[in-house]
Amino acid sequence: MIQGAGSNVGKSMLVAGLCRAARRRGLSVRPFKPQNMSNNAAVTVDGGEIGRAQALQALACGVDPVVDMNPVLLKPESETGAQVIVQGKRIATVRARDYSALKPTLLAAVTDSFERLKAACDLVLVEGAGSPAEVNLRPGDIANMGFARATGTPVVLMGDIDRGGVIAQLVGTQMVLDPADAAMIAGFAINKFRGDPQLFKDGYDLIAQRTGWRGFGVVPWFDQADRLPAEDALDLSGQRGSGPIKIVCPVLSRIANFDDLDPLGQEPGVTMRMIPAGQPLPGDADLVILPGSKSTRGDLTYLRAQGWDIDLLAHHRRGGRVLGLCGGYQMLGRQIADPEGIEGPPGVTDGLGLLDVATTMIPDKCLSRTTAQHLASGLEVSGYEIHIGRTTGPDCTRPFARVEGRAEGATSADGLVTGTYLHGLFSADAFRAAYLKALGVAPSDMRYTAGVEQTLDALADHLETHMDVPGLLALGR
């Protein structure tokens, strides 16, 4: 089990790299995260949803994602509440203070999923959540030491040297842990080192001396990390690419499934910008993408608070194109009704009015891996649907695609505004090339999925060079 001395230390990426390294050794390996908190979810082959990071780790293992890889997924809907997904299905929406009471009841589902994975493979690589040093959260814990203790799983603690204070991170974690929890830690490693790792030898030795833990290596910064799908919205910032065609996306407060945009940021003819709160949507954008959201009405209010609605309408008046994905599609319509209060207080919110459609939230969530035909190009695309809500209206007579014979999505009468519930569209190379060609992007030889596979291999090589991978894998014997 890889645990972190803090959040965002690189656990997800390290587990993905170790999964690929183990697979290349001929091992049958599976990823596992007892509890994840993310609005970036993936649809599994068994009809549920898990964190996007576990789907990437499954790809590194060469297997399809299943719900047992992430049995508890928390999807924040507000500052104080989150949807609780257990073994792929929503069971409740709870406030943070109420989750503490619910959490101990979920350990059975966690261990049940873990035991099934163990029985199906040679090795399970487990990712913790946050940090075990948050000992105030230890009662009822299922994400870190509570899980490790319950299952007898040895732990390697990762520190993030890029943030500074890594010696205190690791030594301090040992000091605050219950001795029985600390005894589960078999060793430590350092991540995100910039420069010559030998310069940290004295610090590395000091950590080993103070803790008595075995060191498993110092991992330099992995320059290709941005070529792998990110799960944490904290990673969303700035600009990718420098091509002549400008695509922008506002960073909503509950943005979801934002890895939809990753392939666009790697196209040589595109400049992809994520626009943070407080900044206007650029007036020279060729395409504005409204992304998915875990709280569509709430994020529509947030969008208006930034003045992005005004910017978007001005962009449309100038002849700019708009694409709404899932929650972004719902926002583009005339209204969003939530009569049962599924995503928040019951009520109706006026939409942006760029599509002549309306959405009603319904209890049944659509979760499906989907193959569709994009009508404008005639090309097949593969993706997934993960949404609550049914959208209807006149613009649905001009659908974006067809899925098993049914119309999907909507297009405005002027052809400038499109909405769809399909995620993962731009991973399809032929579709992405055709879509971008209509914006004026010259064709490229970029192959997105092949590039992700190559990056996973490069990551495994990176870890093999800088970590004691055989020693790490031997801990699971």
Instruction: Name the 3-class secondary structure at 121.
Output: coil
Residue 235 pLDDT exceeds 70 = no
Name the CATH superfamily for 2-221+454-474: P-loop containing nucleotide triphosphate hydrolases (3.40.50.300)
Instruction: Output the CA–CA distances (angstroms, integers) from residue 412 to 61, 190, 324, 394, 435, in the order listed.
Output: 42, 52, 12, 9, 17
CA distance 279 to 283: 12
Residue 237 pLDDT exceeds 70 = no
pLDDT digits (tens, 9 = 90+) for 127-175: 999 999 999 999 999 999 999 999 999 999 999 999 889 999 999 999 9
| Domain residue ranges in the chain | 2-221+454-474, 236-446
Q: Output 242 or 317, whichever has higher pLDDT.
A: 317
CA distance 181 to 137: 13
Residue 387 pLDDT exceeds 80 = yes
Task: Give me the chain's average pLDDT, please.
Answer: 94
Residue 86: per-residue pLDDT: 95
Catalytic residue among 374, 387, 423, 462: 423
pLDDT digits (tens, 9 = 90+) for 190-199: 999 998 888 8
CA distance 178 to 103: 20
Instruction: Give the DSSP H/E element, type plus range, for residue 469.
Output: helix 469-474
pTM metric for this prediction: 0.92
Q: Kindly report which listed range (31-35, 60-64, 193-197) carries the lowest average pLDDT score.
A: 193-197
Domains 2-221+454-474 and 236-446 equal at CATH topology level: yes
The arithmetic mean of pLDDT across residues 233-256, rounded, is 85
Instruction: Taking each helix axis as running N to C, give the angle between helix 52-61 and helix 448-466, from 0 to 180 degrees, rounded to the nearest 10.
Output: 80
Catalytic residue among 19, 61, 249, 326: 326
Q: Which residue has the tokens 């990110």?
A: 230
Instruction: Taking each helix axis as running N to C, give the angle between helix 201-211 and helix 166-176, from 0 to 180 degrees, rounded to the nearest 10.
Output: 0
Which tokens in the block code for residue 121?
């493979």
Residue 344: per-residue pLDDT: 82
- Provide the percentage of residues in the chain whose pLDDT is more than 70: 98
pLDDT digits (tens, 9 = 90+) for 283-320: 999 999 999 998 999 999 999 999 999 999 999 999 99
Q: Is residue 61 among the annotated active site residues?
A: no
CA distance 459 to 229: 13
CB-CB neighbours of 328 under 10 Å? 29
CB-CB neighbours of 251 under 10 Å? 17
> Exposure of 7 by Cβ count < 10 A (0-12 exposed, 13-18 middle, 19+ buried)?
middle
Q: Is residue 423 among the annotated active site residues?
A: yes
Instruction: Just give the CATH number of 236-446.
Output: 3.40.50.880
